[in-house]
Chain A
Amino acid sequence: MSQERHQSQVSELPEEVERLNIHYRIQHIILFTTFILVALTGWALKYPEVEYSSRWVRIWGGPETAGIIHRVAGITMLLDFLYHLIYLGYRFFKGERSFDIVPTPKDLVDFFQNIKYFLGISRDKPKFGRFTYSQKFDYWAVFWGILIIGSSGLALAFPTKAAFLIPSWATNWAWELFYIMHSDEALLAIIFIFFWHFYNEHLKPDVFPMSFVWITGKISIKNLKERHPAEFERLFPKASIKEKEE
């Protein structure tokens, strides 16, 4: 979204290209700090009957304090989400429109190609664009999670206010639904982040111990070529043609 189109006339390739600008990096940092906080302070409520839950919640200053931390962190995360949306809107109206994160049919093709490669059916790795399907999945899972958990969380944190918004035909199930949405979806989000995000951005051998894009915002040309070949071609068409010829 923020990548500047490098002029292909430049014969010399830059060492690295910007992948995430300062806004996205700030948004990401707020997102993961608040995510960790809400996950840790909310965890005990999922399984309160387990003895460790009460001990765990005592580390956070008891259930009342943990509840306050949870709410503050949750609202901060929602504000962060709002910042993200407003920033996207701002870019859209400025004409810097990029839909790199939107899933396309190519992602499905890439996915099947990748599976084929994993299984050894094909020797060719899929040629990923700016975002791989794994990264798009990661992004949209969090997006969906914030919508579901955030909306139900607001309703649970401010129940008397939320009560005015609930239509009267929904009162018999809305509260149960909020509760299920918040609690079950949160569990899904935590496990998902642990399996998917941690594997893809931390544990995978070629990024271990982690991908530094979240701090520097930059990706080296070497990594760009390896991991996002289609994006490399799009950014540096001449260089890639030259390479192919060689």
Chain B
Amino acid sequence: MKREKITLLSLIFIFLISLLSHPDPAIANSLSCLICHGTSEGVIFIDGERFSKSVHGTLDCTSCHLKYIDTPHKTLEKEIDKSILDISLSIRIKSKADPVALSACNQCHPDVFGKVKGSVHGQNIFKKKKSDGAYCTDCHGSAHYISPGKSGQSPVDFGHVMETCGGCHEKESISKDYGFSPKVLERYKESFHGKKYILGHKKVPVCTTCHGSHDVKSSKDPQAMVFGTNRLNLCSSCHPGANNKFTSAITHKPVGRDNPIPYYAEKTLIVLTISVIAGCILHVLLEAYAIIRDYLREKRREE
């Protein structure tokens, strides 16, 4: 509590100083917002310290939260760019608090926005008006805390992207609605690539390597990198000389009865392993028994 009070007092102090330099109180900067949002409970909390360290730390709150202009905020008074407003209407369903702020990503990242809009995730939001499609913050985390790319903290970097995709793609409910298997990640982890990934290999492909990131397409979409003959280009980017018979190696399909040869081969090998081991152990134990028996017998005879 004491720490919070100090923070609050210092923030107010800084705010007052900042008023001197900003005679127009209508221009709210991050610090003035953080007086409430950085400390109080009950309002949307923003960790000021983490925010300042993020790649967006130099932005003002109102750079994205376009509808708010004063402190504390009242009502919509500001003119918002029409393109942003249009997006915000389309993605209403993704953000109850401030869809305008979520749409504001487009201001600085218009190229990425274009890709996302055309992706299977984007289409789900823009066309089907569903909240399941991933939008910026679903993968990158809150815009307040975007970590620098090389920090190893980002949910979309090499070390975390699997978990991030898994957040939705391992969910039974979502997978049922869209007809994909919730086991794809599990299968990936059992695959040639996945096992190496888990052990810390740095050159293996992760979800986004083959499926794309912002422009991710359904695997049934002819434009998808993994679709049909596109796969040849995809695989040969790491495996030069890959042919059609090579590209069938990765399917994310489980080894099941529908693919009987590996299924029964595995079962046979398990039975073989268990019986060989059991036979060997039994033989060794029997022999050990006989050796001890003979030894004792010999000893008794000597006595």
Contact = CB atoms under 8 A, between A and B. Distances in A.
Contact of A57 (B192, B200, B287): B200
Contact of B245 (A114, A168, A195): A168
Contacts of A64: 201-203
Interface of B: 189, 192, 194-196, 198-203, 239-246, 248-249, 255, 259, 261-262, 265-266, 269-270, 272-273, 276-277, 280-281, 283-284, 286-287, 289-291, 293
A177 B262 contact: yes
Interface in A29-47: 44-45
A71 to B, nearest CB: 13
Contacts of A67: 196, 201
Contact of A48 (B198, B269, B286): B198
Interface stretch (A14-22, A79-87, A181-189, A236-244): A181-189
Given A64-B203, A159-B249, A196-B280, A172 B269 contact: no
A173 B189 CA distance: 18
A120 B196 contact: no
Interface of A: 44-45, 48-49, 53-54, 57-58, 62-64, 67, 114-115, 117-120, 134, 141, 156, 159-161, 163-164, 166, 168, 171-173, 175-177, 179-181, 184-185, 187-188, 191-192, 195-196, 199, 204-205
Given A156-B192, A159-B239, A163-B243, A118 B201 contact: no
B246 A180 contact: no
A45 B248 contact: no
Contacts of B265: 177, 180-181
A175 B249 contact: yes
A176 B241 contact: no
A195 B266 contact: no
Nearest to A141: B276
A115 B284 contact: no
Contacts of B194: 48
B198 A184 contact: no
Given A191-B273, A192-B280, A195-B284, A180 B262 contact: yes
A67 B201 CA distance: 10
A54 B245 contact: no
B200 A187 contact: no
Contacts of A166: 245
Contacts of B259: 172-173, 176
Contacts of B290: 117-120
Contacts of B246: 159-160, 163
B46 to A, nearest CB: 35
A181 B284 CA distance: 27
Contacts of A114: 287
Given A49-B198, A188-B269, A205 B291 contact: yes
